[in-house]
Amino acid sequence: MRVVVLSLAVLLGSAVAQHSFRFPSSTLSQIRPIAGFPDSRIASGPVRSSGLGPIRGSSSQVGLRQSSASGSGDPCRPTPCGPNTSCSVNARGIAQCKCLDNFVPDGNTINGCKPQCVSDFECPDDYRCRQTKCERVCVPGACGLNADCDARNHRAVCTCPKGYAGSPEVSCNKNLPVVRANPPAPPPDPCFPSPCGDGAECRERDGRAVCTCPYAYEGDPLTRCTRVECVESSECPTNQACQQQKCINPCTIPDICGRGSECTVRNHQPVCSCGRGFTGDPFVACRRFDPQELCQPSPCGANTNCRVENDRAVCSCIDNYIGNPLEGCRAECVSDRDCPGDRTCRDNRCVNPCAYNACGENSYCDVRNNRVTCTCPQFFQGDPHSRCFAECTEHDDCSSSQACFELRCIDPCVGACGTGADCKVENHKPICSCPKGFTGHPFESCRPFTEADLCNPNPCGTGADCTLGFIPLMA
């Protein structure tokens, strides 16, 4: 009998809602139930905002788990991966985490992925930050034809090589022997060297240097720019989330969960749920439940029993039925054809009929092609469907001229005496003797008698000789 246990969370309808924090934004995401769980009590609703600022995120989901003897599920739901990742299932059924385009692992993809950069300052001096990736400054096309490119402070400085002249941003041409006036010197770069503070970015505007702190940095750009505490939740401990560039416990946001519900943080996300012994919508309110509600209505399939054990609904097939009790149970058989060849159908179960006294006493039972064959053992007689019995079990079961051997009455003289010997049966026993005119050992062989046999063996007393001759009669 197969038994499957449904977790309390599934049958109570206790939702596990996960909010995804990504700032800033002014929109909120809807909570969507996971497909495959029809319980109407699954929590679904918008995440409430707080005075700390807007919350932005992809669709949050209600997480439910179902445990069963068969044990199946999508390892990517809920995703075990961190932020900025995608989850896929390989051929062995194992979840794999992969960074989204333009993101790199934050230690590993389980923790999540982060942008390679958010400002030029986070790249080497000869690289610049473009679309969260560090790219070389001097790439084909950065300067004009025949011009040399030199990377300085994350910017391309174009110059014409010796013997060439022109606008290095457009084209450098080989100098002609004609003497020409020197072109005017390019205006000085106000950002080289940079007049800005540490971590600040310098940009030229109307011939002047303009200093600014890059994205995710704050401070006085003329003195020093420092990085904010966080930009994304992945930069905070797993039990905190990033909001307004600060790492906070998302469960401290007022009204993030409903009345009587519990709030925990998993992978930076607040999870609302009704605790043990409670049910309801964790975003609205949780209430105590009657354990018998777990089986009303029954979550089990057809032809099953539902009982409550340790606050869990336990499904099992009714007697003589098999299958998955969550999906439904069926009779093992309705006729012998539903069973293997060495079994027959009895009370909707395939059984060995020989175990149910299908044949008589002392008989052999064999099942082939779902049919029982009864036979008496060798040397037994009778009806194998009722009783088989032996011809004899002791000598007295036979006539006095026969003996009981291997459960049969036979002539005991057959093969009992030696060659030439006579045999007669007395009280079931063979008596062997040499016939008249013969001598020898009757159990070995008998031969014709001779005169020499009179003195062999010696019939005389000790020390006496035996000779053949006439023995006179005594007067």
How much is the pLDDT for 388? 92
Cα(19)–Cα(60) distance, rounded to whole angstroms?
Answer: 5
How much is the pLDDT for 238? 93
pLDDT in tens, the chain (475 residues): 343 333 333 333 333 333 333 333 332 222 333 333 233 332 323 333 333 233 233 322 222 223 333 344 788 988 889 888 999 999 888 889 998 887 888 777 778 888 888 888 888 888 988 878 888 989 888 898 889 999 888 888 999 998 898 898 889 988 866 556 677 888 888 998 889 999 899 998 888 999 999 988 999 999 999 989 998 999 999 999 999 889 999 999 999 999 999 999 999 999 999 988 888 899 999 988 888 888 989 999 999 999 998 878 999 999 889 999 999 999 989 899 999 999 999 988 899 999 988 899 999 999 999 999 999 998 888 899 999 988 888 888 888 889 998 888 889 998 889 888 999 998 889 999 999 888 888 888 998 988 777 787 778 888 788 877 655 444 4
Q: What are phi and psi of 62, to 5 degrees?
A: -85, 125
Looking up tokens 């003996």 gives 403
Cα(344)–Cα(334) distance, rounded to whole angstroms?
Answer: 10
pTM of the complete model beyond 0.85? no
What HEC string does the chain produce?
Answer: CCEEEECHHHHHCCCCEECCCECCCCCCCEEEECCCCCCCCCCCCECCCECCECCECCCEEECCCCCCCCCCCCCCCCCCCCCCEEEEECCCCCEEEEECCCEEEECEEEEEEEECCCCHHHCCCCEEEECCEEEECCCCCCCCECCEEEEECCEEEEECCCCEEEECCCEEEECCCCCCCCCCCCCCCCCCCCCCCECCEEEEECCEEEEECCCCEEEECCCEEEECCCCEHHHCCCCCEEECCEEECHHHCCCCCCECCEEEEECCEEEEECCCCEEEECCCEEEECCHHHHHCCCCCCECEEEEEECCEEEEEECCCEEEECCCEEEECCCCHHHCCCCCEEECCEEECHHHHCCCCECCEEEEECCEEEEECCCCEEEECCCEEEECCCCHHHCCCCCEEECCEEECCCCCCCCECCEEEEECCEEEEECCCCEEEECCCEEEECCHHHHHCCCCCCCCCCCCCCCCCCCC
Cα(259)–Cα(277) distance, rounded to whole angstroms?
Answer: 15
How much is the pLDDT for 66? 30
How much is the pLDDT for 1? 38
Cross-strand partners of 103: 115
How much is the pLDDT for 102? 78
